[in-house]
Every structure is written in structure tokens, then in C-alpha cells.
Amino acid sequence: MMFATTIMALVGLSALPMALAGVAPLPKGLSVRTEASLPYPLGVMTVTGTVGGHEIQLNGTIQDVYAQVKKAHPDFDAGALVNAHKLAIREDEDGLVGRNKIQPGLCCPFAGQNWNWADAGRIQEGVQYLDHVQALCGVGPRSCVRVSCSWRSAIYLCNDNDYGITPNCGYIGSYASDLINQCVLYNPIGQGYVCGQEFDTDRYNVIVREDSC
């Protein structure tokens, strides 16, 4: 219930009708390839930058990265980090407003995939983790990586380019936030669920959906 309350507060009830729009048209020139359940083979994300003042170069989901930092620096306090930086990050985000985002994102269900819905509260937690690193999140050529995954709820970054890319981790999180705002649906007891995909004109996209982690 705590997460449901958080999400309600974050997105408000006005987001609901958007999710009922159903099948949205694909952005021109981009396609969703879903031979498997993801557009591309799944690789491992690289994360380069700083977390809580510690310089890092690590691989894995953002949860894996936080766990590795905690292991190397036992005094690392993810909770304190997330709280302390909240205001600063909000300001940063204004500077990250997505000029290249193709909006709105696509909300499930849409043509070519059968993804299941993720817990919006868990996705929001992943976004908070991404918001509180100063780092680049890397994905190889024509592949997808799990950016965040917890409690069967995942954020993926998929790269359509023939070369690797390293967008800002917080910026990738902002796509997941967009999808929560645009796609969230609530069950009868007020728990939020999210599932969708948002593209960028730089030929990558972010997927939010259920996953086994």
C-alpha cells in the first residue's frame, strides 16, 4: 500500500485516461522487433561515473551497481544518498528535458508485443536509483540491457545503432517516469502498474515491463 500511495501522489489520477488509449501508432521509421520478447539480444549494462562520491566502472543493473558499491564501501548509504540529493536532482532534470524524446510513449498493449505489466512502485524506485548517480549507462550495438530490475519489474534500454551508446543514467530513468505518467493503471486496491516503450530520435528506446529479473 505504501508504494501505491507514493505513485498516486507522484502521478495523480489524471494519468489514467491516457492508458486507456489502447494501440498507439509507431513512430515513423522505427519498428518494434519482437521475435523474442525483446527487440534485441540481452546484454549487460555498463555504468561509468560516480555513486555517492565513489568513482565506479561496473556492470549490471542499477541495483547490482548499488550492491557492488555497498560491498566495496560498507559506509555507503543508498537511502541517505537518495534523500540528500532529491532537490539538486530535480533541478538537474530541468536541464535534461528530452529534446529528442518521441512522445508520447507507447502504452501496453500495442502491436507486436505481449509484455506484462510491472509494479509502478518498483519502477519508481529504480528511477530514484538512476536519479542519484552521476553516471553514464552503456548498451552495446543492437542490443538491450536491463537498467533496473527488482520484484519482477524491469526497465530496459535498447539500442538500434550499430555502435554502443552511453546515455546519462538519470535521463534513461526519465523515460521510465514518462511511461508511469502516461501508462499507469490501478487495480481495485490502488496498486499502480506500468508497461510501455518510449523512443528517442537517437535510435534507442526504453521499455518498462514485467520481468523475472
Taking residue 22's Cβ as centre, other Cβ atoms within 10 Å add up to 9
**Based on CB atoms, which residue is closest to ligand NAG, 58 or 135?**
58
In the sheet that holds 185-186, the strands lie side by side as 118-119, 192-194, 185-186
Rounded-to-integer distance, Cα 119 and Cα 13, Å: 17
**Based on CB atoms, which residue is closest to ligand NAG, 62 or 89?**
62
What three-state secondary structure class fits 144? strand
**Based on CB atoms, which residue is closest to ligand NAG, 50 or 187?**
50
Lay out the site mask for ligand NAG across 55-94 (x = CB under 6 A, - = otherwise). ---xx-----------------------------------
What do you get for the CA distance between the two ends of the chain, in Å? 22
Task: Report, in Å, the least distance between residue 43 CB and ligand NAG.
Answer: 7
Helices within the chain (DSSP H only): 2-11, 16-19, 62-72, 78-84, 86-95, 120-131, 169-183
Task: Report, in Å, the least distance between residue 61 CB and ligand NAG.
Answer: 13
Lay out the site mask for ligand NAG across 126-165 (x = CB under 6 A, - = otherwise). ----------------------------------------
Q: What phi, psi does 173 have (nearest 5°)? A: -60, -35
**Based on CB atoms, which residue is closest to ligand NAG, 141 or 190?**
141
**Which one-letter amino acid corresponds to residue 36?**
A
Q: Which three cell numbers stand for residue 96?
A: 535534461
**Based on CB atoms, which residue is closest to ligand NAG, 72 or 96?**
72
> Total binding residues for ligand NAG by CB under 6 A?
3
Task: Report, in Å, the least distance between residue 92 CB and ligand NAG.
Answer: 26
Closest residue to ligand NAG, Cβ-based?
59
Task: Report, in Å, the least distance between residue 58 CB and ligand NAG.
Answer: 6
Lay out the site mask for ligand NAG across 18-57 (x = CB under 6 A, - = otherwise). ----------------------------x-----------
Type and span of the H or E element at 206: strand 204-210
* Listed residue (83, 96, 108, 101) closest to 19, CA to CA: 108
Rounded-to-integer distance, Cα 118 and Cα 145, Å: 17
- Residues in contact with ligand NAG by CB under 6 A are 46, 58-59
